[in-house]
Copies of this chain bind each other. A is one copy, B any other.
Amino acid sequence: MKILITGGDGFCGWPTSLHLSSKGHDIHIIDNLSRRAIATALNYESLTNIYSIHERIEKWYELTGRSISFSNINVAENYAALQSEIASFNPECIVHLAAQRSAPYSMMSVDSGNYTLSNNVLTTNNVLKAITEHNRAIKFVHLGSIGVYGYEDRDFEIAEGKTHFSGCDKNNRPYSLKAQIPFNPTSIYHLSKSQITSLLNFYTRNYGLNITDLYQGIVWGTQTSETNIAPELSNRFDYDEIYGTVLNRFVVQAQSGLPITVYGRGEQTRAFIHIQDTVRCIETAVNSGATHSGDVDVMHQIAETRTVKSVADHVAKLVHGSIKHVVNPRDEEEEHRYILENTKFKQLGLSQLNTLGDNLLDEIQNVVDKNLHRIDQTCIDPKVQWGKVSQKPDNECAVKRVGKTPAKSAARPALQAAAMG
C-alpha cells in the first residue's frame, strides 16, 4: 500500500515508518523536523544519539533494500506543497503524526500554547482538505491522545467512540442520542487534540472521509524490532521535564542514583503502551479498511492502566531506587477511577500487548546504561507550572522555573519564531 506519513521523523513516526516499510508498504515521509529544532532550542537532547533523517533512510535501504522517500514540508503552513506531494505520491492511506506532542511544552508560555493549538489544528485541517480535494477514498489515520477525556473520577467504562445517552428536556420530552463521553483536557496540548476531534467529525460528516482516530496512552520504551537493527536507525529517548514521559524519567533518575520524583501523591491513573505496540496498532488501523459507520472510528490505543505510584514502585524495586514526592506542577486529580474500553484492537486480532511487568523494561535500562555519560541531570525536575487555581506559588519546583541557564531561556523565543515562521 502507498502510505504517506506526516511527522515520520518523530518519536512515533520513525518507528512507524520503518515498521510499515518492513511489511512491504511504500512509504513517503513528510516532516519539517520541528521536533529536532525544539530539542535544540530547549537544549534537551535525546539520550540516544539519533542520526539525520537522510542517514536513517540510507541505512535502512542499505540493510533491507527498501526505500523510503522524504520531503521537508511544514504541513501547517505550506498547503500548496502538501497538495502537490499528495498528487504525485497518490497515497491510499495517510498516517497523520505531525503534531507538537508535549503537554508541558504547550503550558510553557502563551507562544508555546498558541503554537501547539495552531500547528496541531492547521496541519490536520490541511491534510483533510487536501484529501477532500484529491481523493476522498484515502484512509486517514490520526494519532490522538487518551488524555482528551481528562482525569475526573469516573466509575464507568469510557467507550471507544460514541455511546448511547438518554435524557429529558425541560418539558419532559424524552430523547436519546449518540455522543462521546465529554472531554475534559487539562493542558493546551490535550485541548488541541480535542479540537482536532471536532475537525475529524466535521470532515467525516460533511465530506464522507474515512477516518480512524487512535487515542493513545503514554508511550514507554525506545526501540522496536526495526530501530534496533543498527545504531543509525535508533529512535529518540527523551527524559527531560518537557518531552520525557514518566517511565523514561523514572529509569534515568534511578540509574543515575537520583530519587524517583513522583508528582503529588502519585495515585493518578494513566494508560500506557510500549512503542513496539504503537507501531503494531497503527499497522492494524491502516489495514482495517474503510469504516462504514458514518462516524470517526475511535480506538483506544492502550495496553494497560496503572497509577503513577505503581510505575515508580516497579522501577524502584528493579533498580533499588528511592522515591520522592514533589509538589505536582500540573492541574489534575491525584486519585480517581479511570476505566477505559479496550476492545477494538482485540476484535481486529491484535492482542498480547506488552505491559510494564514484562522484561521490556530491561531494554530501557540498557539504553540508559549505555548512555549514562550523556545524562543531563538538571533537565528532569519540572520547571513548567500549570498555574491552576489551587496552586501555591511558593513550592519546591517554582524556584527552578526560570530554566537552567540564561542561554536556554533566551533560546525559547527564537525557537518560536523558527517553528512558527
Contact = CB atoms under 8 A, between A and B. Distances in A.
B173 A156 contact: yes
Interface in A113-130: 113-114, 117-118, 121-122, 125-126, 129
A222 to B, nearest CB: 32
Nearest to A160: B170
Interface in A149-197: 154-157, 159, 163-167, 169-171, 173-175, 177, 179-186, 188, 191, 194-195
A192 to B, nearest CB: 9
A49 B388 CA distance: 48
A399 interface: no
B198 A194 contact: yes
A263 to B, nearest CB: 16
Interface stretch (A96-104, A205-213, A232-240, A352-360): A205-213
A310 to B, nearest CB: 23
A389 interface: yes
A338 to B, nearest CB: 13
B207 A388 contact: yes
A119 to B, nearest CB: 10
Given A122-B118, A165-B166, A389-B206, A157 B171 contact: yes
A132 interface: yes
Main secondary structure, interface of A, reads: mixed
A184 B202 CA distance: 7
A199 B341 CA distance: 26
B206 A386 contact: yes
Contact of A117 (B122, B186, B331): B122
A334 interface: no
B155 A175 contact: yes
A206 B388 contact: yes
A110 B79 contact: yes
What is the interface residue range for chain A against chain B? 35 or more
B167 A163 contact: yes
A387 interface: yes
A85 interface: no
A213 to B, nearest CB: 16
B126 A114 contact: yes
Interface in A202-242: 202, 205-208
Interface in A316-370: 331, 339, 341, 343
A206 B331 contact: yes
A183 to B, nearest CB: 7
A198 B183 contact: yes
Interface string A30-41: 000000000000
B170 A157 contact: yes
A182 B295 CA distance: 14
Interface in A371-390: 386-389
24 contacts: A79-B110, A110-B125, A110-B126, A110-B129, A114-B122, A117-B125, A118-B118, A118-B121, A125-B188, A154-B175, A155-B175, A156-B175, A157-B170, A157-B171, A159-B169, A165-B165, A165-B167, A170-B343, A183-B198, A184-B205, A198-B198, A206-B331, A206-B388, A207-B387
Interface of A: 79, 110-111, 113-114, 117-118, 121-122, 125-126, 129, 132, 136, 154-157, 159, 163-167, 169-171, 173-175, 177, 179-186, 188, 191, 194-195, 198-199, 201-202, 205-208, 331, 339, 341, 343, 386-389
Closest 4 CB pairs of A and B: A157-B169, A156-B175, A165-B165, A208-B389
